[in-house]
Every structure is written in C-alpha cells, then in structure tokens.
Chain A
Amino acid sequence: MDNNVEITLTVNGQEVSRRIPARTNLVDFVRYELELTGSHVGCEQGVCGACTIRVNGDIVRGCLMLAAQADGATVETIEGVSDSSEIADLQRAFHERNALQCGFCTPGFLLTAQELLAQNPSPSRDEIRAFISGNYCRCTGYQAIVDAIERVAGERQAAE
C-alpha cells in the first residue's frame, strides 16, 4: 500500500494541498510543510500541551492527530489567532504579567486559555488551573499564567 496521502485543508484561512507521508502528525505538518513554527513539539505523547492546535474550532494535541485526519478540516494555529487579533488581550496580559519566560509553552497556553474563556467566561482560579492542567510550563510556576487569564476574563466581562 501507498504510505503517502494527499490532503487538502484550510490553515489560518488559506487552503493548502500537499502530498505527505501518512505518518506525519499535524504539528509536524504545520511546522515543516507550512513553516508555521509557532506550534511547538515537546513530548510527542500528549502530555505537555506545547503542540496545541485548533481543528474545526476545538483545541487538540497536534502530536496525537495525523495531518491525514485533518484532510478537509479547518485548522488554526497560534499564527492565525495572533494575526486575527483574536487573542491580542491574552497576549498583552501574558506579557504584562510576566506569564512567560522562555516562551516554549506559551502558544499552547494561549490557545487553551482562549478555549476556556469561550466555554466559561468567568472561571474561578481553581477552574483555570484545572483547565490548563494539560499544559506544562517549566519557567513560571503557573501563578502568573493564572493571573493573566483571570485578568482577561474580567476585562472581557467588563467590556460586554
């Protein structure tokens, strides 16, 4: 059998088609085929959350989904939600609250935080911690990340 597949999907609003090895996972596809290197590859076993990508509106582990499975799907990476300003307030809050140091985990945290606030606009600190439990940060100790997400939740509530 052929170990390659042809796929067509929409990534950050643009349709792309590629012929790739079937074993290519989604995060490697966006990084190496599309040169969108904001999604990071950490553990490759679903533990760290650095590869978080949005597929058809929901966050997924980019290392636990094949690019072949995204054929026909709508995919958004940190570059897409950054360019559209969708998460500009989260990015500002992470920056101002020092919620990152090396930044390796940050794209995953931002996409995860955005999904949390979409589901639950005013989460408690415990709910924030539970929701981001699937993302590892080895620099900050999480306190500042929880602060930043909590602040944005408040700002968005106040703006409504």
Chain B
Amino acid sequence: MKPAPFAYVRALTLDQVFDLLDEHGDDARILAGGQSLMATLNLRLSAPEVLIDINHIEGLSSIELKDGKVRIGALVRHSEVAASPIIAEHAPLVAKAVPHIAHQAIRNRGTFGGSIAFADPAAELPAVSRAVGADFVLQSRSGTRTVAANDFFLGLFETARQPDEILIAAEIPVIPGNEKTAFTELARRHGDYAIIGVAAQGGVNGGSFSDMRLAFFGAGDRPILALAANAALEGKPYSEAAVAAAQDALDADLDPMEDLNGPAAMKMHLARVITARVLAELAE
C-alpha cells in the first residue's frame, strides 16, 4: 500500500523541530532513519499530517569516547556503529548485536536513536541498552535531561520521552575490565525480527558471575531485564545447577506474547535454551 498524504519538512536545527512539535503536536511524527516508520506509513498503521525529517540536523551523527562513556548520536546509522572501532573496543555488546539488526540496506539507513525511541519490544538495541546500563539524553526547548534505559521503556512502543522532547544521544558506560558479553537471538531468517533473543553483560570474576544483566527482547511488551534470573546467578560459578536456577527464574521475569511464530509456552522454552547458550559463552 501507499501512505496517506502528509506534508514533509526537512528540519535543519533542533529549534525548528521544537517549533514544529509545538505547532502540530500529535499530528507530527519525527522521521529519523525511517526503517520502521516508513513501513508503518506504507501499511497505513499510522497517518501523521506532517513528517519532520531530522536527518540533516548537525551534531547528532557522531560516536565519541568521553569521561568513561561511549556517546552515540541519535542519527548514527547501524552500519556506522558496526564499523566503529570505539564501539568494538568499549561497547562490545552493541557490536555483537548490530549484525543481527535487519539487513545491510536497512542498516545503512536505520539509526541508533530511532530504534531506541521507537521502542519495539522485539528490537535488539533497546534490550542491549538495558544490559549495558545506558542512559538516554532527551532534549526539549527547556533543556536536556538524562533518563536511564532501565526507566525509559514503559510499555508497547511507549517510552518516557515527552511529546515536546527529542532523543539526541545514548551514553554507554565503557565496559569494565572484569565484564564479559554475549548475544544471541533466534529468527526464521537472518536479520528478521527475532522470535526471542537475549543480550547479556556482567562480571565473571574468578569464574563466578557477578552483577550479570540478561536482557531479553521479543519476550514481552518491552525489553526486559531478567531480574530474577540475574539474581539467581549472583556469586555462582558456571555449572549445570546455576544454569538451571537462572532458567527456572525466567518464569518470574518474562511474559512473552503469542504471535505468528508460536505460542507463549514455546517462547518460554526458547528463552531457557538461549539462556543456557549465553551463559556457556560467558563462562568460556
């Protein structure tokens, strides 16, 4: 299908975006990479009156290492994240996740900030941002504020971003020396939305897990930090018993929805399978 008619504005400054958001409110949508938004427009799942194209706003497209954090501008493309030596060295979980995001032609357009702000519960980066303990920087006319990834995702496609705000960057703590990462997802075709997936980062000290963060996607109405499973792992060395304890704890953490891929019970089974896989990888 084709989208319903809309007006298009190429914004060149954030102030211009704030003006347009004031003027049009809910009738306007921000167009970043457009790799989710354009599909929803084509399917007429949404029909805004105005699209505000932010791709030409300067200062939102760089990856920087500063004060122990990796700052990723909202307009950085997935393909740029994949090619970044800063990401590879200091935010390896992000580097592991990005090849799983869709396909090259989509990674060339899709943006880091767009994926976060869209908050698809089956997308990789929202879950990764919880596992790494990212902060998101939101800007409005009255200034900027920072919201932790753990407080940002409120529900299905629902976030803490206010209507007059725009997400301008994500800040990821440089990975500490004692922490390791693992990422896996199950999909029918490489690059498709995952049936279920998990991003994991945390300490492996002397062979024992500490402050482990398993974050699941495709497992509920938002990216989920598996608090019970993470607690079950605390202080334990890798063993069959530790894996089983984490797997059993998932019942308290996850609430997957039935979808075209299968029933909720199948997803819970797959959650146990991928938990065992990432824990084995972390213990290597």
Q: Which of A94-126 contact B (CB under 8 A)?
A: 112, 115-116
The reply to whether A66 and B8 contact each other, CB–CB distance below 8 Å, is yes
Q: Which 8 A-B pairs have the closest CB atoms?
A: A134-B103, A1-B7, A22-B8, A133-B190, A64-B38, A45-B39, A58-B108, A59-B105
| Tally of chain B residues near chain A (CB < 8 A) | 36
Interface size grouping (class) on chain A: 35 or more
Closest-CB distance, B197 to chain A (whole angstroms): 16
Identify which of B4, B50, B106 gathers the most chain A CB atoms within 10 Å of its CB.
B106
The reply to whether B104 and A61 contact each other, CB–CB distance below 8 Å, is no
Complex interface: chain B residues within 8 A of A69 (CB): 10, 31, 34, 53, 55
Specify the main secondary structure of chain A where it touches its partner. Answer: mixed
At the interface, yes or no: B66 with Cβ under 8 Å from chain A? no
The reply to whether A22 and B102 contact each other, CB–CB distance below 8 Å, is no
Count A/B pairs, Cβ under 8 Å.
Answer: 102
Provide the A124-158 mask, 1 if CB < 8 A to any CB of B, else 0.
Answer: 00000111011100000000000000000000000
At the interface, yes or no: B157 with Cβ under 8 Å from chain A? no
At the interface, yes or no: A90 with Cβ under 8 Å from chain B? no
Closest-CB distance, A5 to chain B (whole angstroms): 5
The reply to whether B7 and A61 contact each other, CB–CB distance below 8 Å, is no
Complex interface: chain B residues within 8 A of A3 (CB): 5-7
6 contacts between A and B (CB under 8 A): A58-B105, A59-B108, A60-B105, A66-B8, A69-B55, A134-B102
A contacts, CB < 8 Å to B: 1-3, 5, 21-23, 25, 28, 44-47, 49, 52, 58-61, 63-66, 68-69, 71, 112, 115-116, 129-131, 133-135
At the interface, yes or no: B174 with Cβ under 8 Å from chain A? no
Q: Which of B6-42 contact A (CB under 8 A)?
A: 6-10, 31, 34-35, 38-39, 41-42
